[in-house]
Amino acid sequence: MNRRLVVGAAIGLVVLLIFVFALGRNKNSVREKTLNSIQPAALYKEAQELQSQDKLVEAVKLYKEIISKAPNFKEIAAVERSLWDLNIKLLFSPIITEQDISYKVAPGDTLGKIAANFNTTVELIKRSNKLSSNLIRPGQRLKIAAVKFSIIVDKSQNSLTLKTGDEIFKVYNVATGKFNKTPVGNFTIVEKLTNPDWYKPGEGIILASDPRNILGSRWLGLSEPQYGIHGGATAETLGNQVTDGCIRMTNPEVEELFSILPRGTEVTIVD
């Protein structure tokens, strides 16, 4: 009798486990189906609400979830723009994310030394820590972006994509070279200039203050001589192939990029 009870109980337990497993799979299937059909709209609304409440990290997670699991969502372009804007806002804020570290300033440290050690820029350290000067003190905590940035320029789309590893951090509309003048290949940023003068063939040097200077407020020179990423673009020129070979951005956006990217940053240009 006892043996029958034990066998019966064991069979009942196995049946229960099979039922629970099947129920779990069914719930996951329903969740995936819901996410692809209905839930993206709800998640998008929730992400917008979180963003309006300055819960930026939580909003970013939801935007990424929508992009990853519902790429055909009708509002996906708006979701991407919201994510890119928040990526930049978080990067320039004191909020420490999983891509950052909290660094304790050591005796003898300078912002330049710290930036070199972590392959970042003094400008980014200052902006993300709300520093008004280069003065720092031992024991002070600084947010440091611990990611490697890179750039892909797509000439066919006239776009510049800022990446962290394999993830898209932000996409910018740019102007590229007319008659296919923008070179294709792998390059690095070797020069950074603020308010650059422009050497115009046949006329000589045109100062940064001269309205004829087409370089705008920043210059990121590439390892391909005489080519670079610079400002000066207007709304009419963005998205078009109108330059003599350089990648042209609006001044605010090239200034943003200038703050983020150190010398040595990899730049890939494709047709």
Q: Among all chains, which residue has been given the structure tokens 């660094």?
A: 103
| Residues labelled as active-site residues | 230, 246
User: How many whole angstroms separate alpha carbon 252 and alpha carbon 218?
Assistant: 9
Q: Among all chains, which residue has been given the structure tokens 């898209």?
A: 168
List, in sequence order, every residue forming a beta bridge with 198; answer none if it has no partner. Answer: 206
* Helix, coil or strand: residue 136: coil
Through-space distance between the first and last CA atoms of the chain, rounded to whole angstroms: 80
Query: Do you know the residue count of the chain?
Result: 271
Output the six-digit token pair for 163. 């990446």
In this structure, what are the phi and psi dihedrals at residue 129, rounded to the nearest 5 degrees?
A: -110, 10
